[in-house]
A and B are shown apart, each in its own frame.
Chain A
Amino acid sequence: MQDKFRLAQPWLTLLARLILGGVLIAAGALKVGNLQQSAMAVRAYELLPIWMANLFGYALPWIEIGIGLLLVLGALVRINGLLGALIMLAFIIAIAQAWARGLSIDCGCFGDGGEIDPEDTKYLSTIIRDLGLLGLGVFLYFFPKGRFALDK
């Protein structure tokens, strides 16, 4: 069993890198062309002061792209796995608090975002997805060495 895991782990790490990295690149790329909406999506969580929410909305897509690129290429996997996990944790907290407070917003995860009709919200499925991605980030933190990576 342990041997099997040792054999499979570099490939699992590669898979985790490609999924988490790919999702982060896609999420960043879809937002980066429309930063006003990105800022609006962050404001709609009503979690940060407005100036900070705007700054976060402008910066987040680039940070997602950066972490995603490094994960896919396999550079600084341990750190970027941790960063990816922390970002997902922050998203989960933000979505959960919006849900608990009864806000009706689009998560803005892949573009869009802002206030929407209450029946269009999908908090639970978003949280479950982000939990999965959080798990991948944690896995990469503990098992950063994988196939086809710039890290040796």
Chain B
Amino acid sequence: MATNNGGDKGTRNLVIVMVGFIVATGVIFSVISNRAASNVEIPAAVSATDGYGIVLNPSASPKIDVYLDYQCPACKSFELINGGYLNEITVQKKAKVVYHPMTFIGRESILAANAAACSADENRFVDMNLALFQSQPAGKDTGQWQNESLIAIGNSVGITSESFKQCVNDGKYLNWTRNISEESGKANVNSTPTILVDGKPLDGATRSDPVKFRAALEAAGVK
């Protein structure tokens, strides 16, 4: 230390201050930008008391929560294995089904979740949900899911209205995905898909076996 000259010491201290500044700014920015707001646009079918999820058949029971990410391959498998049955009982109003499109995988998860929320406003969420998984790109944030292609996916299941197109292009529900993230965190959901039946998670074996899945839902009161 004794042989130090002033210039070197100045550089060193400047570096320390700059790195400290970067860390502090980064932490503050990260906390603020991931915080949910209570005044965001939310789809009509969304209920704050159900973790800001998209609620189908609000007055039916049992309650089935589906936590997913549209870019998650295991969620695609779940939809392809059990989506048919789940959609059938949804249409027949035999259960309250709440979808929580999480967005931890990447940017295109957010765009897809926005498009799914837009489809909910057209009362076509179930079809859009399936169509998104069917067109899931291989790999994350590949560039294949942009607003234009998401609108095309909507069109493919018959959602052709101008309001849907505008909703996707405006990114109307982009900020709502933060509320989903925060509430999913509070529910301690740490992987997708997570399926809760009346609040209790299904294990992996039940999720990936259509017979067991059906049995679990019937045991919970789906007739």
- Interfacial residues, chain A to chain B (CB-CB below 8 A): 32, 34-37, 39-41, 43-44, 46, 50, 54-55, 58-59, 61-63, 65-66, 69-70, 73, 75-76, 105, 114-117, 150-152
A36 touches B34 (CB 8 A): yes
B105 touches A39 (CB 8 A): no
Chain B nearest CB from A102 CB (Å) reads 14
Residues on A with C-beta less than 8 A from B181 are 36
**CB-based A-B contact count at 8 angstroms:** 85
B103 touches A58 (CB 8 A): no
- Interfacial residues, chain B to chain A (CB-CB below 8 A): 1, 3-4, 8-9, 11-12, 15-16, 19-20, 22-23, 26-27, 30-31, 34, 102-106, 181, 185-186, 188, 190-191, 204
A44 touches B30 (CB 8 A): no
Residues on A with C-beta less than 8 A from B8 are 150, 152
Q: CA A40 – CA B103 in complex, angstroms? A: 11
A66 touches B188 (CB 8 A): no
Residues on B with C-beta less than 8 A from A151 are 12
B27 touches A59 (CB 8 A): yes
Residues on A with C-beta less than 8 A from B188 are 43, 46, 50
Provide a sorted-by-A list of 14 A–B residue pairs whose CB atoms are within 8 angstroms.
Answer: A35-B30, A36-B103, A39-B34, A43-B185, A54-B34, A58-B30, A59-B30, A62-B23, A65-B23, A66-B19, A115-B190, A152-B4, A152-B8, A152-B12
Residues on A with C-beta less than 8 A from B30 are 32, 35, 58-59, 62
Residues on B with C-beta less than 8 A from A35 are 30, 34
Q: CA A46 – CA B9 in complex, angstroms? A: 44
Secondary structure call for the A interface: helix
B34 touches A58 (CB 8 A): yes
